[in-house]
Chains A and B, each alone.
Chain A
Amino acid sequence: MTELPLIGEAVAVAAHPRLAGAKIGVVTFPGTLDDRDAARAVRLAGATPVELWHAGTTLGDVDAVVIPGGFSYGDYLRAGAIARFAPLMSKIIDAANSDAKLPVLGICNGFQILTESHLLPGSMIKNDHLKFMCRDQVLRVENNTTAWTGDYAAGQEITVPLKNQDGQYIADEKTLDALEAEGRVVFRYVGFNPNGSRRDIAGISNAAGNVVGLMPHPEHAVEAGFGPELGSGTEGLGFFTSVLNKIVGDNK
Chain B
Amino acid sequence: MPRIVVDVMPKPEILDPQGKAIVGALPRLGFTAFSSVRQGKRFELTVDGEVTEEILAQARDAAETLLSNPVIEDVVNVEVVEA
Contacts and interface: CB of A to CB of B under 8 A. Distances in A.
Nearest to A168: B17
Contacts of A125: 10, 14, 17, 72
A77 B66 contact: yes
A62 to B, nearest CB: 27
Nearest to B17: A126
A77 B18 CA distance: 15
A123 B69 contact: yes
Contact of A78 (B13, B14, B69): B69
Nearest to B20: A130
Interface string A154-198: 000000000000001011100000000000000000000000100
Interface of B: 10, 13-15, 17-18, 21, 66-67, 69, 71-72
24 contacts: A77-B66, A78-B69, A81-B66, A81-B69, A82-B66, A85-B66, A115-B71, A122-B71, A123-B69, A123-B71, A125-B10, A125-B14, A125-B72, A126-B17, A126-B18, A128-B15, A128-B17, A130-B17, A130-B18, A168-B17, A170-B71, A170-B72, A171-B71, A172-B13
A116 interface: yes
Contacts of B66: 77, 81-82, 85
Contacts of B15: 128
Interface residues of A, number: 20
Contacts of A170: 14, 71-72
Contacts of A128: 15, 17
Nearest to A118: B71
Interface in A56-88: 77-78, 81-82, 85
